[in-house]
Amino acid sequence: MTETASALTRLRDLPGPRGLPLVGVLHRLRFDRLHLTLEEWADRYGPLFRINMGPHPIAVVSDSAAIQRILVQRPQGFRRTRRLESVAVEMGLRGVFAAEGEDWRRQRRIVTAALNRHKLADFFPKLALIAARLQHRWEEAADRGDPVDVCSDLMRFTVDVTMQLAFGVDANTLETPGPVIQRHLDKVFPVLHRRTNAPFTYWRWFRLPSDRALDRALEAIRREVGGMVRAARERMAADPDREPADFLEAIMAAAADEGSGISDADIFANAGTLLLAGEDTTANSIAWAMHYFTLHPELFGRARDEVDSVIAPAAAVEGLEQANRLPFLDAFCNEVMRLKPVAPMHVAEPLEDTEMLGCLIPRGTPIMMLLRHAATRDEHFADGERFDPERWIAPPETRPNPHDRRVFLPFGGGPRLCPGRALALLEIRTVLAMLCRNFDLEPATPREQVQEHLAFTMLPAGLKVRLKRRMAG
């Protein structure tokens, strides 16, 4: 700490909204709009304020330097919350996202290696095949004239991609009629979000219908993952000398090393983590991009011109090299992720008492970090609330300034930066290029009905889009 503890403001003396005894501000919060309420309060109470959710004080920070410090000083100075860890353990999901310390380091190495860029180059043909299936699904919807529930279709796409890349399984939920694994995965994030923010651990005493639905969903996911683990074991037993081909094989090979400390539970937890971490995040990011395309047809036209100039007519993106030659599309996606990051806030706790913006934050206090708030302030990005992809490609002398990339953190930051980032960006480019190349789109719901809804990740609730096959010419 830089100042003596007595000179520092105490947490309870920080400004913040008034609450009631015991419940604090709970009666003023809706969990699905938590980020929006906290952002409004940040405007009113400043870069560091206090709220009570239930009896416990929580610090809320939107100062970009303080946020950077927290992200970078993990895992030794800060950690994800103990509540998140205990909830994840109960669900059998203490994989790399929820692990801490040495456990985290071990798991992180394996996950990062399985998702690295070299793997992506080899994987690209399979990704292109899955994108072609999505195109086919959308062509059928276009021919029927049905509005497309974008998030739901995109989650089929992202789960198919993760299962193929990480588990070596062609799940093909895009071409499977009826119920698919997504209906179980869908139950996890909303409950995880509610339980990590709930002031009382009520579900340990009584179970609501949604808690019982979650138990059933987790059981179904365990069965599904169990099948994939068995299949990977058989593949490895049949050819024990070859290099692991995917994440499951890699983590099982590591677990087989004496003293690895990796248990069967870790294998399950990480398989479940990857399925969940790669599903909503990427699908919702693409969905937000499609929403902005409907709001700005002229930008859709510009993205299409760029895609047409890089990809042969009627073809799809053919490889990483082409996917990397779409600067306007990338700028468009950056702007979408700046204004609609699917993780607009994160939570951490300090491992020791710490000083932050002149305040003493006691060890173990949850600190909510408002990442989106910082990235939309005029002091970091000129005219920060305005959607303007140009700012990402204009040369520094002509672009609107300030343009402070350090506060643009859609994938988090520091040692726990999202390891799926390169895969996610490739998925986003591939789907949006396919969309531009083959479809015209218009909104099927009025824009004011598309709302931010936080359920661990932030999705565009109510978004439906009408697709038409692209007119020739």
Using rule CB under 6 A, residue 412 touches ligand HEM: yes
> In this structure, are strands 439-443 and 464-469 parallel, antiparallel, or unpaired?
antiparallel
Handedness of CA 419, 422, 424, 427 (dihedral sign): negative
Using rule CB under 6 A, residue 187 touches ligand HEM: no
| H-state helical runs in 368-465 | 371-375, 421-438
361 forms beta bridges with: 354
Using rule CB under 6 A, residue 75 touches ligand HEM: no
Using rule CB under 6 A, residue 460 touches ligand HEM: no
Question: Given the complex with ligand HEM, which of 25 and 336 has the nearer CB atom?
Answer: 336
Question: Given the complex with ligand HEM, which of 45 and 97 has the nearer CB atom?
Answer: 97
Using rule CB under 6 A, residue 71 touches ligand HEM: yes
Q: Which residues inside 297-356 make contact with ligand HEM, applying CB under 6 A?
A: 342-343, 346
**Cα 124 from Cα 247, distance rounded (Å):** 16
Torsion of CA 205, 208, 211, 213, to 10 degrees: 140
Q: Which residues inside 119-138 make contact with ligand HEM, applying CB under 6 A?
A: none
**Cα 382 from Cα 403, distance rounded (Å):** 7
What does 176-232 look like in DSSP terms, one character per residue?
--S--THHHHHHHHHHHHHHHH-SS-GGGT---HHHHHHHHHHHHHHHHHHHHHHHH
Using rule CB under 6 A, residue 70 touches ligand HEM: no
Using rule CB under 6 A, residue 66 touches ligand HEM: no
Q: In angstroms, give the least distance from the CB of 339 to ligand HEM.
A: 13
**Cα 288 from Cα 461, distance rounded (Å):** 10
Q: In angstroms, give the least distance from the CB of 307 to ligand HEM.
A: 20
What does 31-77 look like in DSSP terms, one character per residue?
GGGHHHHHHHHHHHH-SEEEEEETTEEEEEE--HHHHHHHHHTTTTT
Binding segment for ligand HEM (CB under 6 A), chosen from 60-68, 171-179, 276-284, 390-398, is 276-284
Q: In angstroms, give the least distance from the CB of 284 to ligand HEM.
A: 8
Name the token pair of 454.
Answer: 């936080």
# of chain residues touching ligand HEM (CB under 6 A): 28
Torsion of CA 170, 172, 176, 182, to 10 degrees: 100
- Of 108, 133, 296, 325, the one binding ligand HEM (CB under 6 A) is 108
Contact 448, 426 (CB under 8 A): no
Q: Which residues inside 85-104 make contact with ligand HEM, applying CB under 6 A?
A: 96-97
- Of 51, 58, 88, 111, the one binding ligand HEM (CB under 6 A) is 111
Question: Given the complex with ligand HEM, which of 114 and 360 has the nearer CB atom?
Answer: 114
Using rule CB under 6 A, residue 417 touches ligand HEM: yes
Binding segment for ligand HEM (CB under 6 A), chosen from 15-23, 31-39, 180-188, 406-414, is 406-414
Question: Given the complex with ligand HEM, which of 8 and 192 has the nearer CB atom?
Answer: 192
Question: Given the complex with ligand HEM, which of 101 and 125 has the nearer CB atom?
Answer: 101
Using rule CB under 6 A, residue 389 touches ligand HEM: no
Contact 327, 393 (CB under 8 A): yes
Task: Count CA within 13 A, CB hemisphere, residue 137.
Answer: 23
Q: Which residues inside 198-257 make contact with ligand HEM, applying CB under 6 A?
A: none
| H-state helical runs in 296-370 | 297-310, 320-323, 327-339
Using rule CB under 6 A, residue 419 touches ligand HEM: yes
- Of 47, 244, 420, 443, the one binding ligand HEM (CB under 6 A) is 420
59 forms beta bridges with: 50, 367
What does the buried/exposed string (b/e) look like for 56-92 if buried means 16 or more CB atoms within 10 Å of the residue's CB?
ebbbbbbbbebbbbbbebbbeebbbbebbbbbbeebb
Question: Given the complex with ligand HEM, which of 17 and 413 has the nearer CB atom?
Answer: 413
Residue for token pair 């506060």: 407
Using rule CB under 6 A, residue 411 touches ligand HEM: yes
Contacting residues toward ligand HEM, per CB under 6 A: 71, 96-97, 108, 111, 115, 162, 273-274, 277-278, 281-282, 285, 342-343, 346, 410-413, 416-420, 423-424
